[in-house]
Every structure is written in structure tokens, then in C-alpha cells.
Amino acid sequence: MTEAEFIAALRTLPLHAGAHGLMDDTATLEFGGETLVLTHDAIAEGVHYKPGTDPADVAWKLVAVNLSDLAAKGAEPIGVLIGATLSDARFIQGLREILTAYSVPLLGGDTISVRPAVYGCTAIGRAPAVPKRTGARPGDALWVTGEIGAAMRDFAVDGPAYRRPRPRLAEGRALAPHVTAMMDVSDGLLLDARRIAEASGCSVEIALGEIPFAQGVDDRLAAAAWGDDYELLFAAPAGFTPPVPAARIGVLTSPGEVALRLDGEIPPGKLGYQHG
């Protein structure tokens, strides 16, 4: 099965209402006037990081990609659970660094011994208001925080943007009450923009020249489809001024035959990374 086929099969199972039809990166549980936000991501050697990577960097990235999902829901982290392939003191050091940097406590987890190594993390957060991926409407503008392509640029040289992404937690909390839809850019800006459009029953038009690419990015189309940026991609009504630095890159439109157009055309090649 491809990733899309596998997720489609999972949708035939009994689902909790908080799973949102598996159309989002997080689940939610309502408790009184507060919402718990839950997410789980796994990373594997040779897929999400290079063999021989410093275990401290592996630990950082494992937690960071999960905190990034919380950021896209405007959530404040409560804690994380770790499923870890047995490693060494460097992995523990990396965990200590990211948990300290974002004031996130460890709740527990499990360990295994397997090669190639696979790690999992469940992150739990709380939020007063949670923007879904499905709320964008025709006429909304599409925005992105930060820069795109830094991870692709740093991949060849094991630079920090690829090894140690920075989840946009503060930006997510500032944006959440105002946006109509939001997610993090993990699999590629173009693919994730199409996901917002499709989940919201829209199409999307993006201008390549409006995307804020990182310094040193030469192949802009490749960078827009590469992923691992962990910036926040969000839709908001026309005329909205974001409370955080962000670039307006496109507009949501009424649904058409094609879910995404780039400079008015269907983009060539893959829009982003998908397993399988």
C-alpha cells in the first residue's frame, strides 16, 4: 500500500470524533473549556535522518517534529512520550537539550533494540482554540512563516536547519485565534498547500515568486517540494495582517479540476514527499 491507500484503509475503522476523519496531523479531546491536542510521529534511520547522525541530533529532531504539529494547532506543550531504539548518552543529551529549550517535560515511553533504528514520539498539548486543516474558504489568503528550502540547502552539509528544526510554537499560539486553517510544512510546501485546499473543499493558487526562500536556495521549485521546513502554513481572510512575520504566497479559490496551481500552471513533478 502507498501512504495514501493505507490512511484510506484506516478511515474504514471505528474512529473517535476527535480523530477528525484522519484529515489532520493531530487529534483533539475536549475537557471542560480546554482542548487537549495529541500527535504522534516516528522517524527512521535512512529515511528521516542520515545513518551516522549524532544521536543528540536524532533526539532533537524526534521531539521537534512533534512539537511542530502542536504549533500548527496553537497548542502549549504539556509533555511527550518517547519510543526509543536503545542508543547512548548522546541521545539522552539531545533529549535534555530540546526538552529544556521548549520547557517540555518527559512523561514516559518505551525502549526497543532494533536496526535500522526507529524512534517514535507522542506529544500532548493544550489549547483554547484549535484551527483545523479543513476551515479555509475561497477568497482566503495563504501565508507561510519563515523561509522555505533551508533544510534542503543544509541536507548536503548536515547543516542545522535539517538536523535541528525549530518548531514555531510561539507563532502558532499567536496565529491560532485568527486563522481559518493551519498546518506545518513537513512534506513540502506545495504538497501541504494542496492538502489544506483539498481538506477545505477548495483549490489554491500559489505564486512561486512570493514564496520566501532561504538564502542559498538555487532551485526554488525543488525547494518548494522538498519539505522538512517545519514552518507554519495558514489560511486567513482577505485583509488579515498576521501578528507574526509571514509571507502571503497565494489564495484559496473555489474548487476546480486541479487542487493546486503554481503561477497559473500545474506544477511539474512531485509536489512533496510521501511514503510508499
205 shares a domain with 112: no
158 shares a domain with 115: no
159 shares a domain with 236: yes
- Cα gap 121→82, rounded to integer Å: 5
Residue 132 lies in a domain: no
192 shares a domain with 149: yes
Banded pLDDT at 1 (limits 50, 70, 90):
confident
Residue 135 lies in a domain: no
Classify each residue of 156-169 as buried b or exposed e, where b means 16 or more C-beta atoms within 10 Å of its C-beta: eeeeebbbbbbbbb
**How confident is the model at residue 85, as a pLDDT?**
87
97 shares a domain with 185: no
Residue 160 lies in a domain: yes
**How confident is the model at residue 158, as a pLDDT?**
86
Domain boundary among 61, 95, 127: 127
pTM value is 0.94
220 shares a domain with 115: no
pLDDT mean over 222-239 = 96
Q: What is the CATH number of the domain that holds 180?
A: 3.90.650.10
55 shares a domain with 9: yes
If one counts the domains in the chain, the total is 2
200 shares a domain with 109: no
**Residue pLDDT, tens place only, 96-155:** 999 999 999 999 999 999 888 899 999 999 998 899 899 999 999 999 999 999 999 999
Residue 133 lies in a domain: no
**Residue pLDDT, tens place only, 5-21:** 999 999 999 999 999 98
pLDDT for 156 beyond 90: no
Q: What is the CATH number of the domain that holds 14?
A: 3.30.1330.10
Residue 157 lies in a domain: yes
For 107, the domain range is 3-127
- Antiparallel, parallel or unpaired: β 232-236 and 181-184: antiparallel
